[in-house]
Amino acid sequence: MEELVLTEPNEETIVEEQAPKKVNVDLGVPKTQRKRLVIIGGGFAGIHLVKKLSKSSYQVVLIDKHNHHNFQPLLYQVATSGLEADSIAYPIRKVLSDHEDYHFRMGEAQEIKPHEHVLVTDKGSIAYDFLVIATGAKTNYFGMENVAKHAYPMKSVAQAMKLRNTILENYEKALLTNNLDEREELMNIVIAGGGPTGVEMAGALAEFKRYIMPADYPDLNIERSKIYLVELLPELLPPMSDEASKKSEEYLRKMGVIIKTETKIEDYDGQVVKTDKGDIPSRMLIWTGGVSAASIPGLPDEVMAKGGRIKCNGFGQVEGFERIYALGDVAQFHSEEFPKGHPQLAAVAVDQGEFLGKHFSRMHKGEDLKPYKYNNKGSMATVGRSKAVVDLPNWKFQGAFAWFVWLGVHLFSLIGFRNKIVTFTNWVSNYFSRDRHSRVIIKD
């Protein structure tokens, strides 16, 4: 494999001196003596690590398949026409632009060669002093090939756009057929997974059906359009409190969502969702039913934990590999409190990214190293306008105030001032008009 091209301004060849050197890094040291930190993944963990490193004297190389960070908690609003894609996507190059010695390369990590200290990508291989695996999680279909083939996942902005296009196209197609079975298939939507994403998606679709469809599709009998939420466990939002689970179920039922708990999806051919409790005709199965860690080949089996997560010590260092770290959804930090790993949440990824930034700074300065400590910030989910559930460590609440808290936290967490302001504008407009402005099908 050829080496990944890492050129410098005004130089048109690979800079040989950029090969990693084992020297003590110091602020202001010449570029040739800097340690190279290769980060795979510009998700919450990777981006927050990079931000912390902006004043560091490491050379930073970030690799991602996409050229943007994607704010996953709001993907469902893109998929349901409430937000434009660009307001939850943030250019990765912009995050790095205040670091003097950074390099972003759009590419896919393929293999780690831990003994050679080399990462292989589809665009070339690169040597590292330190490697940080922050690849997040990928959709898990639990081995159901047909489901993987026909269901719609929602992990990237492009997938959210495809969902939006397809939902809207299905309604348009429903208008063009006199076959009632086909019409029902086209208008029904099944959501697999009663976690926060599934609950939020179901709520947003229920609002779309109630406030948008009657005016937009006077020619359709809207009552034919049914929204199903299917969950394997007895309750929605399984990791949250009982209050949150019960209240979200109550909200969704009132909004007309058909909730099927203790129901297992077994197969899907693109037209009929087969469950252990019966069939549901639907051309749209949205899969939020599970994730597994998106690890990269090359690490030995001993360090792989359940769900593909990588076993790390308390500092995020992969067990047995001094120079390799893992962060966020893909990592399982050693913790007495969380023997199975910390929750796979955005907040944890952000937290661990910032932690590792400080850790590298401490290492560099020769300070005492402190292991990561999880600070539970609670969890929350929104169901609809003025309807949300919030679990804080010592306070659980639901309703309008919870909804405002949810809005505030998400707005605050969005990266970039422009994204915050455009999202806020959309939310205010959606609130007063009950409209969903982005119901446009954009595809080639």
User: 103 exposed, middle or buried (CB, 10 Å; 0-12, 13-18, 19+)?
Assistant: buried
Span of 147-155, 238-246, 254-262, 422-430 interacting with its own copies by CB under 8 A: 422-430
From the CB of 203, what's the least distance to its own copies, in Å? 21
**217 Cβ neighbours under 8 A, 6+ residues apart:** 171, 175
- Only one residue has tokens 């190389």, namely 61
Could you say which residues in the range 186-215 bind its own copies, by CB under 8 A?
215
Contacting residue, 59, 80, 87, 166, with its own copies by CB under 8 A: 87
Q: Does 32 bind its own copies (CB under 8 A)?
A: no
Binding mask 98-117 for its own copies (x = CB under 8 A): ----xx-xxx----------
Is 184 a binding residue for its own copies by CB under 8 A? The answer is no
Q: Which residues are within 8 A (CB) of 418 and not within 5 positions of it... i.e. 6 or more apart?
A: none
Q: How many CB atoms lie within 10 A of CB 205?
A: 24
The reply on whether position 19 binds its own copies by CB under 8 A is no
Instruction: Name the strand (E) or helix (H) holding 112.
Output: strand 109-113
For position 118 contacting its own copies by CB under 8 A, the verdict is: no
Q: Which residues are within 8 A (CB) of 164 and not within 5 positions of it... i.e. 6 or more apart? A: 78, 79, 80, 81, 438, 439, 441
Q: Could you tell me where the beta strands, DSSP code E, fall in 183-295?
A: 189-192, 227-230, 258-260, 265-268, 272-275, 278-281, 284-287, 291-293
Q: Which residue has the tokens 């400590």?
A: 373
Which of 248, 257, 259 shows the shortest CA–CA distance to 388? 248
CB of 214 to its own copies, least distance (A): 9
Contact status: 16 vs its own copies (CB under 8 A)? no
* Residues in binding contact with its own copies, number by CB under 8 A: 70
- Using rule CB under 8 A, residue 1 touches its own copies: no
The 38-67 site mask, x for binding its own copies (CB under 8 A), equals ----------------------------xx
Task: Name the residues that contact its own copies, by CB under 8 A.
Answer: 4-10, 12-14, 66-68, 84-87, 89-91, 93-94, 97, 102-103, 105-107, 123-124, 157-159, 161-162, 168-169, 172, 175-178, 180, 183, 215-221, 416-419, 421-422, 425-426, 429, 433, 435, 437-444
